[in-house]
């Protein structure tokens, strides 16, 4: 005679839950994963058909796989062994530190994040803040880039807005992988930035182990054809002028480059300029303190005051966007062809000789960037007002002087942005921006002159085109 087995109600519920989870994990989950993976692959295929520079497999590799690959790279392992010997620190401890660096650097690219809403946000922000214009673009040369080459966009660094603006302007050509500084390592924000394919760098770190891990990641990405975007200047300009190139990332990219067998590296110069740089007062604060004795500080009250002023202007119908933002794309520079033109056998050079070659390359790229930096209305007007000093001038005289400048720039093949193809309108927009910000004073007779208290900021904008004079 069999006896019935009774189970507590809670245990039966628990067993049912486990059974459902097991069925979902073994039967439903693979189907769901396959469905979404298929949709992602179809999206990538469509994007690669549309983009001039497709999304390579390396960029789509799982982040943990890339970290493992980086950690067991021969050069990284050698650097770990060297660090352990020199410091006496246990090798396991050094290896853990190297892994921490790798996790800090390696991105986690998401097609959905980048193209699903990242580019849309970039477009909305760019066009909300500025009147965005494409300047010069050598489309034919860009289309003829070797499809097997690694493309690197190299650009001047005017503002933190550069990341957003250039991503939007280049969105029909490629997905860009940026080198981003420590400023972006903020909780939650860093995860979002990492998902766009950006990798974080400590710009001034002298730690040899960190530099080796960073160098090997950049080299791996370049070797695998990842399209990148870098700022050779290494940081934002504080006086408006182009800065000397810093060679770290260029050195990592070209490490072990063999013209005979390596994938070519093609650098695309990008010139950026703004009628108004959002953080201009922060950037020029040290110079302003030296000249005027004023110390510009930013805090909650400053931000609230700035936003309140914008709301006031909106209600009065006098809120204009921050003028024009313009991006130009220059002639591609093939590293292999550049070496050939300069009769350099890069693969056989010593470490010191390679560094000298990279320094020459860096200055050449900065020169190419400088050539295509757009000349904008505010910069033109700022130069004229600075030249006049304390003298008052009428709008007609200002236009005459600006027209002379435009002709001089165009004579030397500089790329001048003339909004609506109307020079009168160009001067009007530049003057309006300067008067709205009180960088230029207007008297009762309708005459204008530079505001002596704002000379530093006027010089900052005039300097953006000083190298073209």
The DSSP code sequence of 145-195 is: S-TTSEEEEEE----THHHHHHHHHTTTT---EEEE-GGG--TTHHHHHHT
Count up the domains in the chain and report the number. Answer: 4
Question: Given pLDDT bands bounded at 50, 70 and 90, which one contains residue 111?
Answer: confident
Most confident of 22-26, 35-39, 47-51, 341-345: 341-345
What is the pTM (predicted TM-score) of this model? 0.84
Window from 53-67, 241-255, 361-375, 400-414 with minimum mean pLDDT: 53-67
The verdict on residue 2 lying in a domain is: no
Q: What is the mean pLDDT of the chain?
A: 85
Could you report the per-residue pLDDT of 18-29, keeping only the tens digit for each?
Answer: 677 666 656 655
Tokens encoding 221: 């990405």
Window from 121-125, 211-215, 302-306 with minimum mean pLDDT: 302-306
Q: Is 23 in the same domain as 158?
A: no
Angle at 429 (CA atoms; ends 284, 157), nearest 5 degrees: 35
Q: Is 119 in the same domain as 226?
A: yes
The verdict on residue 93 lying in a domain is: yes
CATH number at residue 387: 1.10.10
The DSSP code sequence of 441-462 is: EE-TTS-EEE-GGGHHHHHHHH
The verdict on residue 452 lying in a domain is: yes
Q: How far is CA 200 from CA 166, 179, 207, 213, in A?
A: 18, 6, 15, 12
Average pLDDT over residues 253-270: 92
Which residue shows structure tokens 């760098």? 201
Structural domain for 181, as ranges: 57-273+322-372
| CA dist., res. 357 & res. 346, Å (int) | 8
In three-state secondary structure terms, 434 is helix
Q: How far is CA 281 from CA 50, 277, 350, 463, in A?
A: 40, 9, 44, 15
Q: Is 186 in the same domain as 103?
A: yes
The verdict on residue 235 lying in a domain is: yes
Angle at 66 (CA atoms; ends 64, 71), nearest 5 degrees: 95
Q: How far is CA 261 from CA 222, 256, 258, 442, in A?
A: 14, 11, 6, 64
Could you report the per-residue pLDDT of 179-223, keeping only the tens digit for each?
Answer: 888 766 776 677 778 888 888 888 778 889 999 999 999 999 999
The verdict on residue 19 lying in a domain is: yes
């Amino acid at each position: 005679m069999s006896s019935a087995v009774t189970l507590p109600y809670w245990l039966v519920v628990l067993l049912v839950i486990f059974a459902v989870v097991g069925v979902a994990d073994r039967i439903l989950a693979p189907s769901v994963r396959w469905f979404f993976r298929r949709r992602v692959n179809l999206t990538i295929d469509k994007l690669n058909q549309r983009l001039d520079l497709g999304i390579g497999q390396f960029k789509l590799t799982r982040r943990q796989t890339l970290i493992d690959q980086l950690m067991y790279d021969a050069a990284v392992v050698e650097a770990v062994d060297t660090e352990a010997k020199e410091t006496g620190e246990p090798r396991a401890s050094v290896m853990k530190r190297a892994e921490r660096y790798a996790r800090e650097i390696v991105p986690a690219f998401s097609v959905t994040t980048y193209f699903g809403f990242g580019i849309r946000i970039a477009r909305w922000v760019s066009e909300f803040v500025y009147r965005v214009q494409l300047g010069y673009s050598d489309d034919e040369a860009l289309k003829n880039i070797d499809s097997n080459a690694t493309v690197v966009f190299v650009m001047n660094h005017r503002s933190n807005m550069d990341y957003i603006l250039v991503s939007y302007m280049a969105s029909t050509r490629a997905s860009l992988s940026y080198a981003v500084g420590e400023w972006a390592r903020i909780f939650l924000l860093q995860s979002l930035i990492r998902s766009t394919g950006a990798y974080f760098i400590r710009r001034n770190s002298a730690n040899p182990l960190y530099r080796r891990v960073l160098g090997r990641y950049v080299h791996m990405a370049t070797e695998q054809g990842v399209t990148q975007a870098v700022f050779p200047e290494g940081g934002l300009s504080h006086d408006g002028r182009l800065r000397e190139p810093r060679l770290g990332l260029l050195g990592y990219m070209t490490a072990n480059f063999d013209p005979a067998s390596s994938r070519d590296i093609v650098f695309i110069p990008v010139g950026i300029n703004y009628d108004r740089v959002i953080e201009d007062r922060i950037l020029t604060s040290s110079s302003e303190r030296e000249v005027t004795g004023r110390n510009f500080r930013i805090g909650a009250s400053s931000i609230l005051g700035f936003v309140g002023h914008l709301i006031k202007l909106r209600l009065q119908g006098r809120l204009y966007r921050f003028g024009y933002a313009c991006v130009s794309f220059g002639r591609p520079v093939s590293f292999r062809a550049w070496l050939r033109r300069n009769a350099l056998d890069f693969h056989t050079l010593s470490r010191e000789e390679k560094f000298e070659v990279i320094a020459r390359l860096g200055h050449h790229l900065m020169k190419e960037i400088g050539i295509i930096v757009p000349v904008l209305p505010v910069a033109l007007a700022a130069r004229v007002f600075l030249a006049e000093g304390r003298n008052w001038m009428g709008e007609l005289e200002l236009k005459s002087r600006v027209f002379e400048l435009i002709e001089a720039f165009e004579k030397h093949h500089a790329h001048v942005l003339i909004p609506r193809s109307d020079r009168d309108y160009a001067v009007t927009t530049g003057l309006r921006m300067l008067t709205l910000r009180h960088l230029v004073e207007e008297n009762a007779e309708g005459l204008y002159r530079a505001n002596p208290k704002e000379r530093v900021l006027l010089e900052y904008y005039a300097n953006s085109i000083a190298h073209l004079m």
